[in-house]
């Protein structure tokens, strides 16, 4: 009988999955977020779902056989929805959020207008009989029209055996209202027992008003947390001008296609990524690179969406449109990161999920205990305290504590040219105590230039060898090869013909010309390995050049070294300052490079790095990261090349330089859009501030509930006769959510 490995199948299917973010509508609290997540996770074909309550979105990983419509139908059954068919879902969500905000605003205003006379009558004219009937008439629209969403949502949840914050509000206000209606119509029931029949219309309506006000302030504050995304989106122009059949034509950005010719005038934003085909100009690329100096763009140069054209006008051919542009990728990365969950959030979600049932239980216990020990006013007190427990115990503050801080933190990073891919790396960044830097393109500018070419004295004609060298280096992918190619081209050297080419990892390359001669271009190791003779004076010169922080490359045939080539890579101006800042914070800084030890030593000395290693293979970088982790270090790896990708994947926090390779950026959890190393201490400081904000938020959310629920239940009554009014409970609940969001927004003002 054939056995099937279910886990292997599931893993295989998962590899073929789609990961997509959808805007969610209908969520009103943290428990709603938990419900949406639970429903989606239990939908067949969904591997994972992560809801971000703060920006009302869900990141779903699902089987490619599953359609988004099926996800939508699953959520609609429990009263929620996702936006799937819109051309621009974020825009639709923004419109819906704005509409939702205006709706809450008008409901809050009208609730307050009608609640005020109820409150005055309940507080100061409670003995006036007509007052009860006036309060009843005014309460009905407040509860069942302006506050209807609480009851509708609670019903939808109850249908599927779930409960959320709306359940708490609906139960507390509904019970208070029904009890008051009974006392209004049948006061003699209580009077015959010698008990005053109190009504609680003011409690029910004030709770609705205060919670609506809390939601209004919360929505306002939540929209501020996503301002970084809005700024990025604002960089995209809505329309663009194309050249079609020699004529200029304006079209919406959604209609542009790859291959179309686009006209850009002075001061206009570049709408999509492409290549200049005609004309030239200077383009401000600071939103992508952080560099303030405009970059000259002429024929065949690349241009990027969102950057701003300065003086000249030019035509360019569209290469990447829609979601493929660099700006769209950045926006997508920031959105996914804001939707991702920090490890601490997963624990909070579990707590929020069981919170409402626990509160309902506490409320019932409170009611029963007061009935048993309450004396003459037992029922009234039992009702008030159980209602107060339901009202005060809002899980919103708990649900907002982490995501709002994460959203603001990631947004703050984006403003400082630090792209953070997930919340986990943001949470972990503050624990980093070891940073590993690559040399080329990270510590140095990564723009190597040939400074010296020294030929063997015994050679009569070196022109032929220059042609061979150009042919070999033109095929090499090594970053230094380009510097050599450019240098030889400037000398007007023609390429020789080579018939075979072989790359030797970490050492250099081997090539063969048409006449069968073998040539080697690479480091000292390669020459020794192939027993190629090196002239003593050349070797001495090579050592002297290496001590000057220059990389020395050897060109040799099968017998001897023909020439040595020295290449220097300028150290970035900010590297030394950034390394000093990290060291001052007690972080150990290491530099690993494939370059020779002497060059590594010279560069390390210039920037103040004590721990460095040269001639390191790509696999050895990853092994070095492992070694530090085994010693108990939390390691951040910073690199920019394909050769760093293994070490980046191994590190606890991986940081890619934005001007580096796509692979390095894909693997890394953070990307520095600017090439300035000072962004590293900034990123780690941002992590520290964000984690501090999360801890403060969670502390206040927990403390609020730990103190508030027992007070609402009446623990202070035996001590000083204090019973918490449900109205005050409503105010406290609203304040707790707003205070958490406002505390997160403080991050925006932090100077990194």
**Active centre residues (catalytic):** 438
Please, which residues have CB within 8 angstroms of residue 134's CB and are 6 or more apart in sequence? 117, 118, 121
Question: How far apart are alpha carbons 231 and 411 in whole angstroms?
Answer: 10
Contact 287, 671 (CB under 8 A): no
Contact 669, 689 (CB under 8 A): no
Question: How far apart are alpha carbons 61 and 149 in whole angstroms?
Answer: 31
Please, which residues have CB within 8 angstroms of residue 181's CB and are 6 or more apart in sequence? 136
The 10 Å Cβ neighbour count of residue 508 is 25
Tell me which DSSP letter residue 142 carries. I
Please, which residues have CB within 8 angstroms of residue 341's CB and are 6 or more apart in sequence? 50, 52, 349, 402, 403, 423, 424
Tell me which DSSP letter residue 580 carries. H
Contact 364, 353 (CB under 8 A): no
Question: How far apart are alpha carbons 46 and 421 in whole angstroms?
Answer: 22
Question: How far apart are alpha carbons 128 and 147 in whole angstroms?
Answer: 27
Helix axes of 30-41 and 165-185: crossing angle, nearest 10 degrees: 120
Cα three-residue angle 611-691-402, rounded to 5 degrees: 145
Contact 509, 502 (CB under 8 A): yes
Sequential DSSP letters for 371-385: HHH-GGGHHHHHHHH
Strands (E), 623-712: 635-639, 653-657, 670-672
């Amino acid at each position: 009988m054939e056995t099937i490995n279910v886990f292997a199948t599931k893993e295989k299917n998962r590899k073929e999955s789609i990961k997509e973010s959808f805007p969610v509508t209908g969520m009103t609290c943290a428990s709603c977020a938990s419900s949406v997540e639970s429903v989606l996770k239990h939908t067949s074909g969904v591997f994972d779902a992560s809801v971000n309550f703060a920006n009302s979105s869900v990141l779903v990983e699902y089987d490619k056989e599953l359609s988004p419509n099926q996800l939508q139908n699953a959520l609609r059954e429990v009263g929620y929805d996702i936006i799937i068919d819109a051309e621009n879902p974020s825009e639709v969500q923004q419109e819906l959020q704005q509409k939702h905000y205006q709706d809450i605003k008008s409901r809050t205003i009208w609730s307050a207008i009608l609640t005020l006379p109820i409150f005055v009558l309940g507080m100061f004219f409670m003995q006036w009989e007509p007052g009860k009937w006036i309060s009843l008439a005014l309460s009905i629209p407040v509860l069942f029209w302006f506050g209807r969403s609480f009851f509708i949502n609670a019903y939808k949840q109850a249908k599927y055996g779930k409960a959320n914050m709306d359940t708490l509000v609906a139960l507390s206000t509904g019970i208070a209202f029904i009890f008051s209606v009974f006392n209004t119509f049948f006061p003699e029931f209580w009077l015959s027992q010698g008990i005053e029949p109190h009504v609680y219309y003011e409690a029910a309506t004030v709770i609705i008003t205060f919670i609506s006000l809390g939601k209004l302030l919360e929505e306002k504050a939540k929209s501020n947390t996503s301002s970084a995304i809005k700024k990025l989106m604002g960089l995209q122009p809505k329309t663009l001008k194309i050249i079609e059949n020699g004529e200029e034509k304006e079209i919406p950005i959604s209609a542009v296609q790859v291959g179309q010719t686009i006209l850009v005038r002075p001061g206009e934003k570049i709408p999509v990524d492409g290549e200049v085909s005609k004309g030239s100009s200077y383009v401000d690329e600071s939103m992508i690179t952080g560099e303030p100096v405009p970059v000259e763009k002429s024929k065949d140069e690349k241009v990027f969406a969102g950057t701003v054209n300065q003086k000249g006008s030019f035509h360019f051919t569209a290469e990447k449109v829609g979601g493929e542009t660099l700006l769209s990728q950045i926006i997508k990365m920031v959105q996914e990161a804001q939707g991702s969950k920090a490890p601490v959030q997963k624990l909070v979600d579990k707590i929020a999920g069981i919170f409402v049932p626990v509160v309902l239980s506490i409320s019932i216990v409170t009611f029963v205990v007061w009935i048993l020990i309450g004396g003459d006013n037992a029922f009234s007190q039992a009702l008030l305290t159980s209602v107060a427990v339901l009202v005060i115990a809002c899980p919103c503050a708990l649900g907002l504590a982490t995501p709002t801080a994460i959203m603001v933190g990631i947004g703050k990073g984006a403003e400082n040219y630090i792209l953070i891919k997930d919340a986990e790396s943001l949470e972990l960044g503050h624990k980093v105590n070891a940073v590993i830097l690559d040399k080329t393109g990270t510590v140095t500018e990564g723009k190597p230039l040939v400074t010296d070419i020294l030929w063997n004295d015994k050679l009569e004609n070196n022109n032929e060898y220059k042609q061979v060298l150009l042919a070999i280096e033109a095929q090499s992918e090594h970053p230094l090869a380009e510097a050599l190619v450019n240098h030889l081209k400037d000398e007007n050297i023609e390429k020789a013909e080579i018939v075979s080419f072989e790359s030797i990892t970490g050492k250099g390359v081997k090539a063969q010309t048409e006449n069968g001669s073998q040539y080697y271009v690479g480091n000292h190791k390669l020459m020794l390995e192939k027993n190629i003779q090196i002239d003593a004076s050349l070797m001495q010169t090579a050592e002297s050049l290496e001590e000057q922080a220059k990389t020395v490359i050897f060109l040799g045939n099968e017998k001897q070294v023909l020439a040595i080539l020295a290449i220097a890579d300028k150290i970035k101006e900010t590297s030394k300052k950034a390394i000093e800042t990290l060291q001052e914070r007690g972080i150990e800084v290491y530099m690993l490079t494939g370059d020779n030890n002497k060059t590594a030593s010279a560069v390390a000395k210039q920037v103040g790095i004590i721990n460095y290693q040269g001639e390191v293979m790509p696999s050895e970088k990853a092994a070095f990261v492992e070694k530090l982790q085994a010693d108990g270090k939390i390691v951040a790896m910073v690199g920019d090349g394909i050769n760093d990708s293994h070490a980046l994947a191994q590190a606890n926090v991986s940081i890619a330089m934005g001007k580096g390779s796509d692979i390095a950026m894909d693997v890394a959890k953070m990307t520095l859009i600017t090439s300035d190393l000072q962004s590293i201490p900034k990123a780690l400081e941002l992590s520290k501030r964000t984690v501090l904000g999360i801890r403060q938020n969670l502390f206040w959310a927990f403390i609020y509930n730990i103190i508030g629920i027992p007070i609402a239940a009446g623990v202070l009554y035996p001590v000083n006769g204090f019973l918490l009014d449900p109205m005050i409970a409503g105010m406290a609940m609203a304040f707790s959510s707003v205070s958490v969001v406002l505390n997160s927004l403080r991050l925006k003002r932090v100077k990194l």
